[in-house]
Amino acid sequence: SKKHKVTVVGSGNWGSTIAKIVAENTKAHPETFEEDVQMWVYEEEVTIPKESKHYDESSGDKPQKLTEIINKYHENVKYLPDIALPKNIIANPSVEEAVKDSSILIFNLPHQFIGRISKQLEGKILPFARGVSCIKGVNVTESEISLFSEWIGEGLGIYCGALSGANIANEIALEKWSETTVAYDPPVIDSQAATPTGPSPSSSQINLTITDTDKQQDLKDSRGRTTKARLRAVPSSYPPLDHSVFKSLFHRPYFHVRMVSDVAGVSLGGALKNIVALAAGFVEGRGWGDNAKAAVMRVGLLEMVEFGKEFFGHSVHTATFTEESCGVADLITSCSGGRNFKCARMAAERNVSVAEVEKTELNGQMLQGTSTAKEVNSFLKARGREDAYPLFKAVLDILEGRKTVDDIPDLVARPDE
Ligand code: NAD
Ligand code: 13P
């Protein structure tokens, strides 16, 4: 019987950490997974820093390909320095090669880049593959919004779930305990409604024979609409791709997984909290205390829940925001030690822009909150709803210089109920 091959698409701070987790688990569960995990790396030339223990062995300050560094030293010296990666992670600069024959695709890269990568993968993946998006952001086009999990699913014609939680990557890479939430809820293929597939247009490229016993059906999105995403039966030669397989892929003694079905709630929590974390950074950088930060978090959580209910009410559960790691817990950790929080705090302290701090302090890591604030507000504006989300709006107005941090208290004050 066959085993699932796993690819992690992305290799930044969180991408490398998730690859570490997954590679530990593929090794621990040889009955289910192939041991080697492919990790797609956006290739760049990197100089190993002098303080790295690999500096001596390298050729001094000469830049080297990041994939070669990772495969030689088993460390991502740029995005996850000083963390030993399992040797069964294989860094690959070609995304098409990295996904070849993989039945599980984990998408983990800054949301700014997923569009191009997803396009490159069209027709290159196993048709019955399942995806999991670890991306924190939302996909906004003009007046429409979608979840990256759904958008990846539509683009690639597969089912895609989501992983999100109170997960600052550096802590998890050091194996300090945390929890996460995985939303994975493909419908059971309805044999009445399902249609047999003919040979897939991509089957010759990926060298797979599809027989007419394979079943597929359309998938609905989190707002109940039929989409181009298709659910295809996993061949019976593989272990079924159910909750237990995904739990065994992600759960570690230091990384506790709770499986849920609310993909929209999990995805929205991770995206929207980044806007709130910027606000928390602003008020702390302004010199206000923990009470101000708690006030921002209270209002932020309220807006996150309302946004979910207003635009994804068909499927979102309020409890996902209030009870799961991907909701309130992620909000708290992100407003304590996240990069969006820290960069906004430095920006307010130094009186410079957040973009400037991102450039000088993050060594190539990327903030998600600044672009998410812009995208969410442009979506709300197109719907005439921006005044209903005053904290989200205030963050964008501060980022773009129309308001100051001092304006936040009055902007977010609501009349007593
Ligand atoms: P990161 O912030 O470390 O970003 C750097 C990555 O972007 C590198 O892998 C780099 O190669 C890649 N990159 C740069 N230019 C690119 C391009 N043109 N095309 C493609 N890739 C390019 O990334 P991350 O921390 O791994 O974040 C990935 C996702 O995970 C984000 O949505 C983030 O919100 C989420 N997340 C991050 C953390 C964390 O603590 N870092 C925790 C949970 C979730
Ligand atoms: P930042 O991207 O702000 O560091 O947030 C990390 C995160 O998502 C923690 O759960």
For 128-157, how does the pLDDT look when each residue is reduced to its tens digit (9 = 90+)?
Answer: 999 999 999 999 987 899 999 999 999 999
Q: Which residue from 42, 112, 121 has its CB within 8 A of the most atoms of ligand 1, so it is best to mutate? A: 42
What's the pLDDT score for residue 211?
Answer: 39
Atom of ligand 2 nearest to the CA of 367: 2
Q: Which residue from 14, 18, 170 has its CB within 8 A of the most atoms of ligand 1, so it is best to mutate? A: 14
Coil, helix or strand at residue 7: strand
Instruction: Verify whether ligand 1 is closer than 6 Å to residue 366 (CB atom).
Output: yes
Give me 227's structure tokens.
Answer: 């989409």
Q: Which residue from 276, 340, 358, 362 has its CB within 8 A of the most atoms of ligand 2, so it is best to mutate? A: 340
Angle at the Cα of 390 (from 133 to 144), degrees rounded to 5? 45
Q: Which ligand is nearest to the CA of 93?
A: 1
Ligand 2 center to residue 334 CA distance, Å?
A: 5
Contacts of 21 (CB under 8 A, 6+ apart): 172, 250, 252, 255
Instruction: Verify whether ligand 1 is closer than 6 Å to residue 365 (CB atom).
Output: yes
What's the pLDDT score for residue 209?
Answer: 34
What's the pLDDT score for residue 365?
Answer: 98
Atom of ligand 1 nearest to the CA of 44: 11
What's the pLDDT band for 414 if we cut at 50, 70, 90? confident
Q: Is 50 exposed, middle or buried (0-12, 13-18, 19+ CB in 10 A)?
A: exposed
Active-site residue, 247 included: no
Q: Tell me whether strands 195-196 and 138-141 are parallel, antiparallel or unpaired.
A: unpaired
Ligand 1 center to residue 352 CA distance, Å?
A: 23
Q: Does residue 196 register a pLDDT over 60?
A: no
Atom of ligand 1 nearest to the CA of 134: 30
Backbone angles phi, psi at 30, to 5 degrees: -65, -15
Query: Percentage of residues in the chain with pLDDT exceeding 90?
Result: 83
Atom of ligand 2 nearest to the CA of 168: 9
For residue 195, how far is the Cα from the chain centroid? 32
CB atoms within 10 A of CB 337: 13
Instruction: Verify whether ligand 2 is closer than 6 Å to residue 305 (CB atom).
Output: no
What's the pLDDT score for residue 203?
Answer: 32
Q: Which ligand is nearest to the CA of 135?
A: 1
Give the pLDDT mean for 6-32.
98
* Average of per-residue pLDDT values in the chain: 92
- For every residue of 195-213, DSSP letters joined together read EE--S-TTHHHHT----TT
What's the pLDDT score for residue 193?
Answer: 54
For residue 270, how far is the Cα from the chain centroid? 8
pLDDT digits (tens, 9 = 90+) for 362-398: 999 999 999 999 999 999 999 999 999 999 999 999 9
The candidate with the shortest Cα–Cα distance to 314, out of 115, 128, 150, is 150
Give me 161's structure tokens.
Answer: 């779930």
Q: Which ligand is nearest to the CA of 91?
A: 1
Q: Contact at 8 Å (CB) between 105 and 129?
A: yes
What's the pLDDT score for residue 297?
Answer: 98
What's the pLDDT band for 218 if we cut at 50, 70, 90? confident
Q: Contact at 8 Å (CB) between 86 and 23?
A: yes
Token pair 């570690």 in the structure block, residue: 252
Instruction: Verify whether ligand 2 is closer than 6 Å to residue 340 (CB atom).
Output: yes
pLDDT digits (tens, 9 = 90+) for 51-102: 999 997 666 789 999 999 999 999 999 999 999 999 999 999 999 999 999 9
CB atoms within 10 A of CB 63: 13
Token pair 């495969």 in the structure block, residue: 71
Q: What is the C-alpha separation between 212 and 240, in angstroms, rounded? A: 19
Q: What is the C-alpha separation between 104 and 19, in angstroms, rounded? A: 12
Instruction: Verify whether ligand 2 is closer than 6 Å to residue 197 (CB atom).
Output: no
What's the pLDDT band for 281 if we cut at 50, 70, 90? very high
Q: What is the C-alpha separation between 120 and 124, in angstroms, rounded? A: 8
257 - beta bridge partners? Answer: 180
Instruction: Verify whether ligand 2 is closer than 6 Å to residue 181 (CB atom).
Output: no
Q: Contact at 8 Å (CB) between 229 and 219?
A: yes
Give the gyration radius of the chain's Cα atoms: 22
64 - beta bridge partners? Answer: 46
Q: How far is CA 82 from CA 54, 69, 71, in A?
A: 10, 13, 15
Instruction: Verify whether ligand 1 is closer than 6 Å to residue 15 (CB atom).
Output: yes
Q: String of b and e for 65-101 (b: at least 16 CB within 10 Å)?
A: bbbebbbebbbbbbbbbebebbebbbbbeebeebbbe
Q: Does residue 206 register a pLDDT over 50?
A: no
256 - beta bridge partners? Answer: 179
Q: Does residue 201 register a pLDDT over 60?
A: no
Q: Which of 273, 293, 342, 393 is catalytic?
A: 273
Q: What is the C-alpha separation between 107 and 134, in angstroms, rounded? A: 6
What's the pLDDT score for residue 141?
Answer: 85
Q: Does residue 120 register a pLDDT over 50?
A: yes
Instruction: Verify whether ligand 1 is closer than 6 Å to residue 273 (CB atom).
Output: no
106 - beta bridge partners? Answer: 8, 132
pLDDT digits (tens, 9 = 90+) for 323-377: 999 999 999 999 999 999 999 999 999 999 999 999 999 999 999 999 999 999 9
What's the pLDDT score for residue 213?
Answer: 40
Looking at residue 54, the DSSP 8-state letter turns out to be: T
